Amino acid sequence: MKIHKLLFFAISVILTNFQWFSSYGKSVHHDTLTLGKGTDFNKEFAKTNKKGWYGNEEFSPVDGIVTTINLNTAKPGIVIFGIGLIDQNNIFILEREFIHEVKSGLNNISINESIKSGQQIFIKTPVSGICYKSGSNRKIYYTENGYNSALSIIPKARLAFSYQIIPNKKVADNQNITQQKLSKKSSFKNTLIIGNSITKHGLAPFWWGNWGMAASRPDKDFVHILISLLREQNASMSYSVLQASKWERDHQHFALSSYDSIFSSKPDLVILRLGENVLDLQDYEQSYLRFLNYIKQEVPEALVVATGNFWTNELKDIAMKKAADSAGIIFVSLSDLDTKENKSSIGTLVTGEDGLEHKIDHNGVANHPGDTGMKSIAYRIFENLP
């Protein structure tokens, strides 16, 4: 009897180990997504003195968690990874970075980093120790002078790294407004909305309207939805829009006085909906506070509301929230709206100013909030008004 028990135990152990080995190298999650495939490349990346970020031509189609990075390196050392996205101006917008020590050869790095649809992982220079493959039909994106410049391309090449993503299953709630909430809002006579391409973007080779980028029609962007909600309280309310992405690109030195004329109509509600295009975070809190105080100086009787970033960026939002608190301004967070469901997508139809239907084919445009996301932004701002 004892022999039989021992034999049964031994067979069980063998079968268990066989199952473990047979599944080794496969994800236990049947829906795990692998991006940047190709870690068996054995050529060393060309040495470069150019500062910036390098990444393969591939972005995440889902919201999820990055669990593993596989990286083939020629030399041991420290590697800096960055998670971010490429915007409609072909600029890498960094959300955050993290560091890992690597050995020479193939590295299997366990991590737990969130990633949004449209984002991807880049590697910071110097990248002389990272292997790559030439002759590929894909390409490597890189910046010539740091992430403040537009991305350039190394054709027919791929960095030797891949990463695994477990998609999120939870769908964000769009928080629809009730009629009771509508009836309790203040009435405004004149609204000014200051923003970037999410607020308004003119005609471009990759965009066919003159409203919030990626909204399928003018009335589907957050500005028009929000104005419609506000006019429930005052049907004759007027409004204007200021496109201020130039301030985002040069917030430390931008002359705010160039916006003086926009305040001549004396708006009694000002919404500052900026941040996504800010690349340099040095002194950003002070710059944002300076903008808020400038608005208060121009229209001291107005209600001023500031929003956080739609594209998740904790460092930016912290700086903006601190500035808003210092200025005594309402701050509305939007980062939880940064989900696949709230974004547009490649192939989405847009009715352009020419009256024709166009398909979104630019990833930077597709990363913008779609009709659902635009509605979510408008409702979120409205719900936070007194």
Task: Kindly report the CATH number assigned to the domain that includes residue 92.
Answer: 2.60.120
Residue 250 lies in a domain: yes
Q: 322 and 241 in one domain?
A: yes
382 Cβ neighbours under 8 A, 6+ residues apart: 177, 185, 226, 229, 230
Rounded distance between C-alpha atoms, residue 369 and residue 345, angstroms: 9
138 Cβ neighbours under 8 A, 6+ residues apart: 56, 57, 58, 156, 157, 158
Question: What is the per-residue pLDDT for 348?
Answer: 97
Q: 222 and 367 in one domain?
A: yes
Question: What is the per-residue pLDDT for 143?
Answer: 83
Residue finishing a domain among 132, 167, 202: 167
Residue 6 lies in a domain: no
Residue 19 lies in a domain: no
Residue finishing a domain among 167, 200, 220: 167
Q: 377 and 244 in one domain?
A: yes
Question: What is the per-residue pLDDT for 135?
Answer: 72
Residue 343 lies in a domain: yes
State the amino acid at position 297 in one-letter form: Q
Q: 274 and 371 in one domain?
A: yes
The angle at the Cα of 186, spanning 182 to 187, to the nearest 5 degrees, equals 105
> Is the preceding peptide bond at 126 cis, omega within 30 degrees of 0?
yes
- CA distance readout (Å), 100 to 53, 74, 97: 16, 15, 10
Tokens of 120: 């991807």
> In this structure, what is the dihedral angle of CA atoms 369, 86, 138, 46, given to the nearest 10 degrees?
-170
Residue 18 lies in a domain: no
Rounded distance between C-alpha atoms, residue 310 and residue 69, angstroms: 26
Structural domain boundaries enclosing 130: 30-167
Q: How many domains does the chain have?
A: 2
User: What is the Cα gyration radius of the chain?
Assistant: 25
pLDDT (tens digit, 0 to 9) for every residue of the chain, 386 residues total? 444 443 333 333 323 332 322 332 333 344 788 887 677 776 777 666 567 888 888 899 999 999 999 988 888 888 899 999 999 998 899 999 999 999 988 899 999 999 999 999 999 876 667 787 777 778 888 887 655 678 888 888 888 889 999 998 754 444 455 555 555 688 999 999 999 999 999 999 999 999 999 999 999 999 999 999 999 999 999 999 999 999 999 999 999 999 999 999 999 999 999 999 999 999 999 999 999 999 999 999 999 999 999 999 999 999 999 999 999 999 999 999 999 999 999 999 999 999 999 999 999 999 999 999 999 999 999 999 99
Question: What is the per-residue pLDDT for 155?
Answer: 86
Q: 354 and 255 in one domain?
A: yes
> In this structure, what is the dihedral angle of CA atoms 39, 44, 49, 54, given to the nearest 10 degrees?
-20
Contact at 8 Å (CB) between 219 and 171?
Answer: no
Question: What is the per-residue pLDDT for 107?
Answer: 92
Q: 201 and 79 in one domain?
A: no
Q: 192 and 113 in one domain?
A: no
Categorise residue 320: left if φ over 0, alpha if ψ from -120 to 50, beta otherwise: alpha
Residue 21 lies in a domain: no
Question: What is the per-residue pLDDT for 183?
Answer: 57
Picking from 112, 118, 74, 110, the residue whose alpha carbon sits closest to that of residue 92 is 118
342 Cβ neighbours under 8 A, 6+ residues apart: 172, 174, 369, 370, 372, 373, 376
Question: What is the per-residue pLDDT for 41?
Answer: 72
Question: What is the per-residue pLDDT for 312?
Answer: 94
Picking from 196, 205, 200, the residue whose alpha carbon sits closest to that of residue 358 is 205
Polymer length of the chain? 386
Question: What is the per-residue pLDDT for 25?
Answer: 33
Q: 196 and 316 in one domain?
A: yes
Residue 174 lies in a domain: no
Residue finishing a domain among 117, 140, 167: 167
Q: 216 and 115 in one domain?
A: no
Q: 227 and 359 in one domain?
A: yes
Residue 98 lies in a domain: yes
pTM (predicted TM-score):
0.84
